[in-house]
Amino acid sequence: MEKHEFQTEVSQLLDIIVHSLYSQREIFIRELISNASDALDKMKYLTLTDDAFKSISFEPRIDIEFDEENNETLTIRDNGIGMNREDLIEQLGTIAKSGTKSFLSQLSGDAKKDSNLIGQFGVGFYSAFMVAEQVEVVSRKAGEEQGWRWRSDGKGGYEIEEAKCETQGTEVTVYLSDEGKEFANRWKVEQVVKKYSDHIAFPIYLHYEKKEYDDSGKEKGSTPTVEQLNSASALWKRPKSELSQEDYNEFYKAIAHDTDDPLLHLHTHAEGTLEYSTLFFVPKRAPFDLYHADYRPGVKLYVKRVFITDDEKELMPTYLRFVRGVIDSEDLPLNVSREILQHNRVLANIRQASVKKILGEFERLAKDEPETYTEFIEQYNRPLKEGLYGDFANRETLLELVRFKSTKADGWVSLAEYKERMQPDQKAIYYITGGEEHTLRNSPLLEAYRKKDLEVLIMDDEIDEMVVPMIGTYAELELKPINRSEVGEDIKDEADKEKAEELKPVVERIKTALGERVKDVRVSARLDESPSCIVLDENDPSMKMQELMRAMGQTEMPEVKPILEVNPSHPIVEALKSHSDDGVVEDVAFLLLDQALLVEGAPVKDPADFVKRMNKILAKAV
């Protein structure tokens, strides 16, 4: 007998599972059945594609037995692919998946939050330790002679020794702790299997003693009975009319490892040139790994009901990576390799049609169920914007789906709504980017737009700055940023030119004073209450963008200087016209620049200098 230690991460995970999931103990049955089903999928695949296994007779099944006398054990057995010694060490003693590691690093220590995360993630085999004093796995790998026994109490390590096994497959025996005793019960097992595992495509049999009673109700004996618990049909293949909302919800929870119902489902049977079924779901909450580069794809591929892969990112465009579900094709060969999958016409067609369907469903949701759509947007607005960046074919639809914040409405606004509300002769759609929502909403750049009652979209999402310039136009209206040097058509005024002419000498003096700090100083046409603001030259990256680029390692980037605009109607600026003291003009010039930076949420370049100049001016004023 060999003794092994668990990898540190396994011990950590075990600790969390046992301590934060106790309210959902029953899911260990779901997890063990799901593993058995995976093993059967792999075995079935072998028998269909590998010559060495084609001749064997294979009737996939899952069997559950329990100790009725003393409630001490529960056993789940499958005749699937099995595990050899190396597999047992690899699969049950370490955490190989990078997803699990990043999951562990996200744990907050708050039991309630963590159990949600675990729910989303799927706890797997180790969940058995919630109800076990000891877990024993006896397994023989398909194509090998030797069987192996793995045993652990889930504390520090595990033991492995040789074992006798008649056929390939795996038998997991859970030695139940006091908390687990309730699961050594016919009704309990039946209830849990129906709840979580009805959709499993292989029959699940429960073995129990059927009691017999005489007329007076006294027990007169029992017969060993085997009963199939699940309907064992691929749910996605069944006609929609046969399925209830409940059926869909339970199926979703099982495949997505979620505790919540999905936000929506979309079930399609396609016939014609291509024959396939798809069943897609959108989770209520965005998957925890939505923004991880190594996210787990959510769509599984089946061919004629045979599971092919759940690790193929190409089944969906990246921006729809939050979609969960199944694609089952009748037209693909069973032994499709990864390379073939990625360049396969059939699959490309299914994918294209599926994306259209899914986006169409989002449009329907926006129209018919605005409240649910808001929930959806709170979670997935950002991936949809990514779509604008990458999915040119569906650009028009995506433009109708994305939402923005606005100066004219609470909550989320669509471009269509904006257009609807526009002034009769308005020439463009205006937006502001480059900071937090609060900063943007209070930006002096908005003043003239507010005064003219022009709506401005508040784009506070980092991704907006990359995506929105790419949009260019919506319904032939240009999308115009208001923090650029060129002023929007709609706020230009005939009087501006005159004022600019009149203020020329002042502007020159400010420019001389500020020197290298600014790219230019101009008379503003967009200010109302504030004395000054900064804007960017048409093609310069914004402050936020510069920050981002630096964070991404572009340290060599030349400093981008702002353009300072001054408000010709503001008393401070007016007073400068007749001021003879160059020192005062210089102090005011610096203060005008620094305050404009401050309201944009940008750092003041030299705080000590700023305070000194301010105090000089204050002393004069007091």
Stretch binding ligand ADP (CB under 6 A), from 7-15, 29-37, 311-319, 388-396: 29-37
Asked if 36 interacts with ligand ADP (CB under 6 A), we say yes
**In this structure, how many other beta carbons lie within 10 angstroms of the beta carbon of residue 359?**
20
- Write out the two tokens for 611: 């305070």
Out of 63, 65, 78, 258, the residue judged to bind ligand ADP by CB under 6 A: 78
Nearest to 259 by CA among 388, 116, 148: 116
Binding window for ligand ADP (CB under 6 A); candidates: 36-44, 179-187, 489-497, 574-582: 36-44
Specify the residue, 171 or 386, whose C-beta has the smaller distance to ligand ADP: 171
State the Cα–Cα distance between residues 111 and 21, nearest whole angstrom.
8
Could you give phi then psi for residue 8, rounded to 5 degrees?
-50, -45
CB atoms near residue 75 (< 10 Å): 17
x/- mask, Mg ion, residues 107-136, rule CB under 5 A, reads: -----------------x------------
Which amino acid is located at 357 in the chain?
A: K
Q: Choose between 64 and 81: whose C-beta lies nearer to ligand ADP.
A: 81
* Residue number, 166 or 339, with CB nearest to ligand ADP: 166
Measured CA to CA, the distance from residue 427 to residue 452 in angstroms comes to 13
Non-local CB neighbours of 48 within 8 Å, separated by 6+ positions = 54, 306, 334, 335
CA–CA dist 241, 176 (Å, integer): 41
Q: How far is the CB of 32 from ligand ADP (least distance, A)?
A: 7
C-alpha span between 428 and 68 (Å, rounded): 75
Strand spans (E) along 370-450? 405-406, 428-433
Shortest Å distance, C-beta 142 to ligand ADP = 10
Q: Which of positions 113-152 make contact with ligand ADP (CB under 6 A)?
A: 122, 124-125
Out of Mg ion, ligand ADP, none, what residue 83 binds, judged by CB under 5 to 8 A for its kind, is ligand ADP
Per-residue binding string, ligand ADP, 572-601, x by CB under 6 A, is ------------------------------
Q: How many CB atoms lie within 10 A of CB 6?
A: 21
Residue 39's binding partner out of Mg ion, ligand ADP, none, with CB under 5 to 8 Å set by partner kind? ligand ADP
Which option in ligand ADP, Mg ion, none does residue 79 bind, with CB closer than 5 to 8 A by kind? none
| Site track for Mg ion across 5-34, x = CB under 5 A | -----------------------------x
CB of 54 to ligand ADP, least distance (A): 21
Site string for Mg ion, 541-560 (x = CB under 5 A): --------------------
**Taking a C-beta distance cutoff of 8 angstroms, is the pair 567, 531 a contact?**
yes
Residue nearest to ligand ADP as judged by C-beta position: 124
Q: Report CA 132 to chain centroid distance, whole Å.
A: 33
Binding residue (CB under 5 A) for Mg ion from 20, 35, 139, 152: 35
Residue selected from 71, 75, 91, 249 as contacting ligand ADP according to rule CB under 6 A: 91
* Of 122 and 287, CB closest to ligand ADP: 122
Count of residues that bind ligand ADP according to CB under 6 A: 16
Q: Which one of 76-84, 409-417, 454-462, 491-499 is the stretch in contact with ligand ADP (CB under 6 A)?
A: 76-84
Query: Toward Mg ion, which CB reaches closer, 255 or 429?
Result: 255
Cα separation, 354 vs 345, in Å, equals 14
**Which among ligand ADP, Mg ion, none contacts residue 386 (Cβ within 5 to 8 A by kind)?**
none
- Pick out residues in 152-171 that bind ligand ADP (CB under 6 A): 170
**Contacts for 85-92: CB closer than 8 Å, 24+ residues apart:** 85/146, 85/148, 85/160, 87/139, 87/141, 88/137, 88/139, 88/148, 88/150, 88/160, 89/4, 89/160, 91/125, 92/125, 92/137, 92/150, 92/152, 92/158
Which one of 33-41, 51-59, 229-237, 281-289 is the stretch in contact with ligand ADP (CB under 6 A)? 33-41
**349 binding partner (options Mg ion, ligand ADP, none; Cβ < 5 to 8 Å by kind):** none
Strand partners, 201: none
Q: Which is nearer to ligand ADP, 37 or 406 (CB)?
A: 37
One of 14, 27, 39, 602 touching ligand ADP (CB under 6 A): 39
CB of residue 46 to ligand ADP, shortest distance in Å: 13
In the complex with Mg ion, which residue's Cβ is closer, 32 or 592?
32
The nearest distance, CB 82 to ligand ADP, in angstroms, is 6
Smallest gap from Cβ 126 to Mg ion, in A, equals 10
Backbone angle region of 54, left / alpha / beta, with phi > 0 → left and psi within -120 to 50 → alpha: alpha
DSSP secondary structure letters along 189-223: HHHHHHHHHTT-SS-EEEEEEEEEE-TTS-EEEEE
Counting residues that bind Mg ion (by CB under 5 A) gives 3
DSSP 8-state secondary structure symbol assigned to residue 475: T
* Dist. CA 390–CA 203, nearest whole Å: 43
Helix (H, G, I), strand (E, B) or coil at 447: helix
Q: Which of 26, 30, 31, 264 binds ligand ADP (CB under 6 A)?
A: 31
Tokens of 417: 């709504």
Q: Which CB, 253 or 382, lies closer to ligand ADP?
A: 253
517: its two tokens:
């700090």
To ligand ADP, the closest distance from the beta carbon of 22 in angstroms equals: 19
Nearer to ligand ADP, 28 or 319 (CB): 28
Judge contact between 381 and 411, C-beta under 8 A: no
41 makes contact with ligand ADP (CB under 6 A): no
One residue of 60, 80, 147, 154 binding ligand ADP per CB under 6 A: 80
Closer residue to ligand ADP, CB minimum distance, 83 or 543: 83
Q: What DSSP assignment string belongs to 509-552? A: HHHHHHGGG-SEEEE-SS-SS-SEEEEB-TTSPPHHHHHHHHHT
What are the residue ranges of helices labelled H in 96-184? 98-106, 111-121
Provide, rounded to whole angstroms, the least separation between the CB of residue 88 and Mg ion. 15
Q: Which does 303 bind (CB under 5 to 8 A by kind): Mg ion, ligand ADP, none?
A: none
Q: Which of 285, 286, 265, 288 is nearest to 277 (CA)?
A: 265
- Indicate the SS3 state at residue 85: helix
Min dist. Cβ of residue 172 to ligand ADP (A): 6
Report how far apart the first and last C-alpha atoms of the chain are (Å, whole number). Answer: 89
Token pair, residue 399, equals 């433009």
Chain residues in the site for ligand ADP (CB under 6 A) = 31, 35-36, 38-39, 78, 80-83, 91-92, 122, 124-125, 170
Residues at the contact surface with Mg ion, assessed by CB under 5 A = 34-35, 124
